[in-house]
Structures are given as C-alpha cells and as structure tokens.
C-alpha cells in the first residue's frame, strides 16, 4: 500500500540547495507540492562565488522554509576561490557538521525516506548512513551525479592510493547502505557495479531541462555579432577543454573564415586563460566573452545562437557522464556540436540533434563547424527539433518524479 503523502517524511541531503541553483531544488519543491513532508539538510549557500550569500551566515538564516520545504543549514567553511586546500576544508567541514546534525535528527525525528543528492564529494552520503544505522527501516535513495573516487583522481589530480582507497571504501559503504542507487547517466553503471553487487539497486534518473529556459523576458542581453553564432554557456573550467576548443577557432580564423563567431556565456577558473589566449592569438573578431548572466536569461541567449556547443576532456569519468548542459541545449531546439567521447556523444547520435567529434580533436571540430555554417537553415532547424522532441520524451521532470514516487512507495 502506498504511504499517505502528508505523513511521509522525506529528508534530502545535499551540499547545495536553494538559493544555489541545483536540480535537487526542483525535486524537493515538487515533492512538497505533491503533499510530502520535506526537509532539506544543506550548507550555508556559498556556491559558486565561494562566500556566503547576502543575508546568510553562521548566525543568520540557518533555518527557513521555502516553497513548503523546511531547510536546515549546517555550519561549514565556504569554498573560497576553489583552491585545493580551501575546497577540502569546505568538504570536510560540511561532512562533519552534517553528520553531527544528522545524529540528533535521527534520535528525535523519524524520516521515512532519505534522498542523497550526491554531487561532490561522496562524503555527502555519510550523514545518511548515520541515520540509516540508527533507524534501519528508513529508505535510502542515493542519487549519483559524480563518480568517486574517480572524480578525485581525474578532476582533483589525486594519485595517492591510500587517499583514493579511503574514498572508495566510503563509496562502497554509501552504495551498500542504499535501497536504490539513482544514476544520472547510464555510463555510471560499470563503475558502480565494480564496487560491489549493486546491479539490482540501479535505476536511471537522468537530468532534465524543464523550466531551465523560462525566460526573464525583460532582461537585456548584450549585443551579439552578426554572422553564424556558435554559443557555449556555462562553467569556463578545466574540464571543458578550452585549450583545444580555441585551437579550433584559431584554425577557422587562419583559414580566413570571417562569418563564424564563438560566443562564451559564463565564467570560471579558466576565464583569464581564455582571455589571454584570445589576446595572444588576435581572435577578438571571432571569439567573444560576454560574461556570466542569470540562468533565467539563457533562453534569450540560446534564441540568438545558430549552434550550441559543449566539450569535455578525454577521461574515463567524463566519458561516462552525460552533462546536464546537453539536455538544456536540446530543449532549446537548437542543433548541438560537441567535442567529447562517451555518453554525451551517444545521446547526440541517438537524438540526431547535431554532430560530435572525438574529445581533443580540434582539427575535426574546426572542419565540422565550418561545414555546419554552410548547411541550409532547414537542416539546422530539423536537428534542433529532433533534440527538443528527444528531450521531451526522455528527459522530463514529470517522468522522473513519477519514477521517484514509485521508488519511495516500494
């Protein structure tokens, strides 16, 4: 028999929650709207700027209710500039504080279901394990968006086997104590199953794009250049392989192609390097950085693009990942070009919504973009429509919520 929603208590544990912009917000608010009693255990908002949001702090707004969701914020050290030491302190302080809080929450309140929103690090699962040990009948759904310790090794550059071993044991413990493991990418299956007999726990829970492009119609976006516009939107970081991306646009520039423009909407740790590369290679007429803008304005930007672009470096963890950016691009109804391997490239092929080249292959990327610029507008529109339809059929919040409610009721 399905539980009565108004008495079914759900705890969502995540290092990121409203007003930070993450998918767990939509899940929490939607569950509350559907009648569940929802609480979120999170940190004090500080992502991505690395400092506490205005109005929040160690002694301010540690408890609040938003859209029917009760939010409890643990004490922690903000991530600062994202350097290794500061980021580690952020991770450790949240894990310790959240575990301490979870212990007392388990003693004094009974939750029927815990949903762990596991971005990074894997230690976000530790508070849930504490509650599960105290109250074994509590259902634990572990929502995996990042693989550990693989992420620590690839993105963090950690090679010490002792450290990696510690985080692998934590990952195994999180998976072992879970009733269901929700994968944001089918590519995660092999890694998770390599850590234990977890195949019967795995469920596909992909990212979605519903609402991502709800436009702030009165927002004034900057003037964009005339010509064929290839747009990247999001984090300007190491993983996005701007080295090879900009090599491709240098080739386009050197070939004398003048009607193609690369527009970068966003910010990140690689932004200064990108600007220096543009300056050093005289690419001002073809590559344009327009800075960070609100998520609510992305629909306005995407509407001005001819092609939407994304890239990931060639590494095991990136090849297993289908980045959330891809669903947002597809939902915009624009063709997609990618320089990446693995799961994301597979989705583009399945949806017939654009073209992809191998990760790091900047020469093929340059040729592909030049070719795309010569395609008839009808062919570009067809690719964009294919992506939008595929996204609606396969990557919707409603479909995910129906599945989630089913797993909660088991």
Share of the chain above pLDDT 90, in %: 79
Query: Does residue 120 form part of some domain?
Result: yes
pLDDT tens-digit series, residues 80-108? 887 778 988 999 999 999 999 999 999 99
β-bridge partners, 339: 311, 357
In a shared domain, residues 144 and 249:
no
In a shared domain, residues 12 and 68:
yes
For residue 211, the model assigns a pLDDT of 60
Confidence band for 158, pLDDT divided at 50, 70 and 90: confident
Query: Does residue 107 form part of some domain?
Result: yes
Average pLDDT over residues 270-299: 94
- The answer to whether the beta carbons of residues 310 and 326 sit under 8 Å apart is yes
Confidence band for 216, pLDDT divided at 50, 70 and 90: low
Could you list the residue range(s) of the whole structural domain that residue 140 is in?
A: 5-208+396-409
In a shared domain, residues 256 and 171:
no
pLDDT tens-digit series, residues 371-408? 999 999 999 999 999 999 999 888 889 999 999 999 99
CA distance 351 to 348: 5
Instruction: Give one DSSP letter per residue of 80-128, joined into a string.
Output: TT--HHHHHHHHHHHHHHHHHHHHHHHHH---SEEEEEE-S-GGGGHHH
pLDDT tens-digit series, residues 165-215? 999 999 999 999 999 999 999 889 999 999 999 999 999 999 887 665 666
In a shared domain, residues 335 and 250:
yes
- The answer to whether the beta carbons of residues 45 and 20 sit under 8 Å apart is yes
The burial of 275, by beta-carbon neighbours within 10 Å (0-12 exposed, 13-18 middle, 19 or more buried), is given as middle
CA distance 72 to 42: 6
In a shared domain, residues 299 and 315:
yes
Per the structure block, which two tokens stand in for 300?
């306005």
In a shared domain, residues 245 and 378:
yes
For residue 212, the model assigns a pLDDT of 56
In a shared domain, residues 134 and 241:
no
Query: Does residue 187 form part of some domain?
Result: yes
Query: Does residue 270 form part of some domain?
Result: yes
Query: Does residue 91 form part of some domain?
Result: yes
Cα–Cα distances in angstroms (integers) from residue 122 to residues 144, 199, 235, in the given order: 9, 19, 21
Residue 279 has pLDDT above 50, yes or no: yes
CATH number of the CATH domain containing 47 = 3.40.50.2000
In a shared domain, residues 294 and 389:
yes
What is the pLDDT of the chain when averaged over all its residues? 93
User: What are the b/e assignments for 20-50, b being 16+ CB within 10 Å?
Assistant: bbbbbbbbbbbbbeeebbbbbbbbbbbbeee
Please give the torsion angle defined by the CA atoms of residues 125, 128, 134 and 140, in that order, rounded to the nearest 10 degrees. Answer: -110
For residue 203, the model assigns a pLDDT of 97
pLDDT tens-digit series, residues 304-363? 999 999 999 998 888 888 888 899 999 999 999 999 999 899 999 999 999 999 999 999
pLDDT tens-digit series, residues 223-261? 999 999 999 999 998 889 999 999 999 999 999 998 999
Residue 76 has pLDDT above 80, yes or no: yes
Confidence band for 1, pLDDT divided at 50, 70 and 90: very low
In a shared domain, residues 104 and 139:
yes
Q: Looking at the 3D structure of the chain, how many domains does it have?
A: 2
Confidence band for 291, pLDDT divided at 50, 70 and 90: very high
Query: Does residue 273 form part of some domain?
Result: yes
pLDDT tens-digit series, residues 107-145? 999 999 999 999 989 999 999 999 999 999 999 999 999
For residue 81, the model assigns a pLDDT of 80
Query: Does residue 106 form part of some domain?
Result: yes
In a shared domain, residues 329 and 279:
yes
In a shared domain, residues 257 and 361:
yes
Query: Does residue 222 form part of some domain?
Result: no
Q: Which residues contact 41 (CB under 8 A, 6 or more apart)?
A: 11, 12, 13, 14, 72, 74, 98, 101, 102, 105, 127
In a shared domain, residues 11 and 135:
yes
- The answer to whether the beta carbons of residues 121 and 130 sit under 8 Å apart is no
Nearest to 339 by CA among 299, 308, 317: 308
Nearest to 258 by CA among 286, 234, 281: 286
Count the helices and strands in the chain (H runs, E runs): 15, 14
Residue 155 has pLDDT above 90, yes or no: no
Return the residue matching tokens 């998770």: 192
């Amino acid at each position: 028999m399905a539980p009565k929603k108004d008495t079914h208590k759900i705890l969502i544990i995540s290092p990121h929650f409203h007003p930070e912009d993450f998918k767990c917000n939509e899940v929490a608010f939607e569950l509350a709207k559907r009648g569940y009693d929802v609480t979120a255990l999170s940190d004090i908002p500080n992502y991505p700027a690395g400092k506490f949001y205005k109005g929040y702090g160690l002694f301010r707004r540690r408890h609040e209710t938003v859209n029917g969701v009760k939010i409890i914020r643990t004490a922690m050290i903000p991530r600062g500039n994202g350097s290794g030491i500061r980021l580690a302190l952020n991770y450790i302080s949240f894990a310790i504080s959240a575990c301490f809080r979870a212990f007392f929450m388990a003693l004094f309140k009974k939750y029927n279901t815990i949903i762990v929103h596991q971005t990074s690090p894997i230690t976000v699962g530790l508070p849930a394990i504490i509650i599960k040990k105290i109250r074994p009948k509590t259902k634990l759904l572990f929502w995996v968006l990042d693989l550990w310790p693989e992420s620590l090794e690839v993105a963090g550059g950690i090679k010490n086997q002792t450290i990696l071993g510690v985080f692998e044991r934590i990952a195994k413990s999180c998976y072992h104590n879970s009733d269901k493991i929700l994968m944001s990418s089918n590519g995660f299956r092999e890694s998770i199953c390599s850590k234990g007999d977890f195949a019967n726990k795995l469920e596909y829970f992909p990212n979605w794009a519903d609402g991502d492009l709800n436009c702030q119609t009165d927002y004034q976006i900057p003037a964009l250049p005339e010509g064929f516009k290839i747009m990247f939107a999001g984090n300007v970081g190491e993983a996005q392989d701007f080295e090879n991306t900009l090599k491709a646009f240098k080739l386009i520039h050197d070939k004398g192609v003048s009607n193609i423009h690369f527009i970068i909407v966003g910010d990140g740790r690689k932004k200064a390097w990108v600007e220096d590369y543009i300056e050093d290679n005289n690419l001002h007429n073809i590559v344009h950085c327009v800075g960070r803008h609100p998520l609510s304005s992305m629909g306005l930007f995407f509407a001005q693009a001819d092609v939407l672009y994304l890239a990931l470096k060639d590494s095991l963890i990136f090849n297993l990942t289908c980045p959330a950016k891809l669903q947002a691009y597809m939902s915009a109804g624009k063709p997609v070009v990618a320089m990446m391997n693995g799961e994301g490239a597979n989705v583009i092929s399945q949806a017939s919504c654009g073209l992809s080249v191998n990760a790091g292959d900047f020469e093929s990327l340059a040729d592909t973009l030049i070719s795309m610029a010569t395609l008839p507008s009808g062919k570009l529109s067809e690719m964009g429509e294919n992506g939008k339809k595929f996204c609606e059929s396969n990557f919707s919040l409603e479909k995910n919520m129906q599945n989630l409610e089913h797993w909660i009721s088991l």
